[in-house]
Structure 1
Amino acid sequence: MTAPASPSATASASATPSSPALTGWPTATGSKAVSATIEVSGTYDGGLARHYGSGDLGGDGQDEGQDPIFKLADGAVLKNVVLGSPAADGIHCSGSCTLQNVWWENVGEDAATFKGKSSSATYLVQGGGAKGADDKVFQHNGAGTLTIKDFQVEDFGKLYRSCGNCGTQYERHVVIDNVVVTSPGKVLAGINSNYGDTATLSNVTVVGDDDRDITICERFQGNDDGDEPTALGSGPDGTFCRYGTSDITYE
């Protein structure tokens, strides 16, 4: 069951927003219980209200197949939203989408999943932040390119994962720029080199990882039969994991 976007949702706006400076976590302006997925076509401005799951969306575990709080149509924009707990499966993008100034206080199954089937699909996450992801923050199941910029993440498993064992596989790309990462965490970008995936990273600041346990970019042998993908290696290689030592700063 799904619910349409609120009447305050406006017409589509595809322009890329300007780059904001990284800021502290916002204070929610109010709270809204969401019992059925909110479908967005166009632009939904949440006014920084906290949206959290209730009823059928009241889960915050890692069970696969949960419904999202928001489902975005191709070209939709979601901005100024705080996702509280429980957050179910966060946000699903059916095609190209923009997530601007979206904050996850405690990630559920995943913060956002990108499902566009076209190689020309583009997804933009600009501003915002995420905490408390037991596994993945951003799950890339479809095709195309995801850009994550001006973002902050802490206490997470993987910031980005190109699906390692989806039934339909694609070549996928991620660009990570101006991101502040606070430990604990495991992996910033996980990609499937056998499908031609790439991860391009720049202006990444890692805080509190004195032992440098967080893997910046990890390559996998993906598959389409549901088996656990095989790890192939990590670190910059100039082809799949694209960054240099000057692109990562430790504090």
Structure 2
Amino acid sequence: MRKRWRAGVVAVAALGLGLGAVVYTQGASAASWPSATSTVKVTASKPISGTVDGGLKRYVGSGALGSGSQDEGQDPLFVLADGAVLKNVIIGSPAADGIHCKGSCTIQNVWWENVGEDAATFKGGSGAKYTVTGGGAKSADDKVFQHNGGGTLTISNFQVSDFGKLYRSCGNCSTQYKRAVVVKNVTVTAPGKSIVGINTNYGDTATLSGITITGDSKKKISICDRFTGNKTGKEPTKTGSGPDGTYCKYTTANITYK
């Protein structure tokens, strides 16, 4: 679950990321996926600072970054500096390790057509604030969003389908934090394993509202799983699931099945 990144030497000005593109938005219901305006091959991790608008170009990785499998240690396509905003981007396959946020960041209207190792990894300190708004992710064999650093991640107006876990607070990182995740107005389409997983022994919290789940008549997708995390690299121990008012904060009224 622990990640590394190797910064590329490509300057932001050379990324092929245009400014002023039309923002693609969606509401709580699943929206149609956007069509790519063009395709860009990424051969080295691209550093992003300030606000960068991708103009709905599709970015695909190369073998130098990783295969887009579940192999650990793949490099990201994008590395966001503290305070960076990346918007209107489609990430194709292979996606390697997606996006890394080194501090607070905003990911807006980003669409993962086939999640690689992870869609995005959040690596800031205890005061970091991360925002994922709009967009969606498909075909994640394991995690979509991996929270390795501290701080709070807010996921809103997002859609996910065919996935393992939408969010996981790192269960075995060598440095652990108290983490928080807020998930609201998100559409989930089966198959999937769990929406969030948190570590209660570090004081993690998950707050969920406006969750719509489709194609899961037997309610196999777990809403909130609780674990005892560790710093040793061992697999964390699962201790429970469901709302408890302290760590997993939601009620049945916050979850709609269709």
- TM-score of the alignment, normalized to the shorter chain, above 0.5: yes
Q: What is the 5 A alignment of 1:91-102? A: 91-102=99-110
Instruction: Give distance in 1, aligned partners of 2:238 and 2:11.
Output: 41
Q: What SS does structure 2 have at the residue aligned with 1:57?
A: coil
Which position in structure 2 is the counterpart of 1:32? 40
Cα RMSD, aligned residues only: 1.7
Q: What is the 5 A alignment of 1:53-64? A: 53-64=61-72
Does the alignment pair 1:84 with 2:83?
no
Question: Are the aligned partners of 1:72 and 1:97 in contact in 2 as well (CA < 8 Å)?
Answer: yes
Question: Are the aligned partners of 1:60 and 1:109 in contact in 2 as well (CA < 8 Å)?
Answer: yes
- Choose from 222, 227, 232 the match for 2:234: 227
Instruction: Give distance in 1, aligned partners of 2:12 and 2:203.
Output: 36
TM-score by length of 1: 0.94
Question: Are the aligned partners of 1:10 and 1:43 in contact in 2 as well (CA < 8 Å)?
Answer: no
Question: Are the aligned partners of 2:26 and 2:135 in contact in 1 as well (CA < 8 Å)?
Answer: no
- Choose from 228, 241, 247 the match for 2:254: 247
TM-score by length of 2: 0.92
- Choose from 168, 187, 198 the match for 1:191: 198
In the alignment, structure 1 segments of 5+ residues that lack a partner are 12-16
Q: What is the 5 A alignment of 1:1-251? A: 2=8, 3-7=10-14, 20-21=26-27, 22=29, 23-117=31-125, 119-251=126-258
Question: Are the aligned partners of 1:10 and 1:42 in contact in 2 as well (CA < 8 Å)?
Answer: no
Instruction: Give distance in 2, aligned partners of 1:10 and 1:214.
Output: 38
Q: CA deviation at 1:10?
A: 8.9
Instruction: Give distance in 1, aligned partners of 2:112 and 2:183.
Output: 18
**Deviation sequence 1:182-212 (CA, Å, 0-9, x none):** 0000000000000000000000000000100
Q: Which amino acid aligns with 1:104?
A: W
Q: CA deviation at 1:57?
A: 2.0
Instruction: Give distance in 1, aligned partners of 2:156 and 2:248.
Output: 17
Q: Is the deviation greater in 59-68 or in 136-145? A: 59-68
Question: Are the aligned partners of 1:9 and 1:42 in contact in 2 as well (CA < 8 Å)?
Answer: no
Which position in structure 1 is the counterpart of 2:3? none
* Sequence identity (%): 65
Q: Which amino acid aligns with 1:197?
A: D
Question: Are the aligned partners of 1:9 and 1:43 in contact in 2 as well (CA < 8 Å)?
Answer: no
Instruction: Give distance in 1, aligned partners of 2:26 and 2:219.
Output: 28
Question: Are the aligned partners of 2:17 and 2:55 in contact in 1 as well (CA < 8 Å)?
Answer: no
Alignment size in residue pairs: 245
Q: Which amino acid aligns with 1:28?
A: A
Q: What SS does structure 2 have at the residue aligned with 1:102?
A: strand
Q: CA deviation at 1:142?
A: 0.1
Q: CA deviation at 1:58?
A: 4.6
**Deviation sequence 1:59-118 (CA, Å, 0-9, x none):** 11111111100000000000000000000000000000000000000000000000002x
In the alignment, structure 2 segments of 5+ residues that lack a partner are 1-6
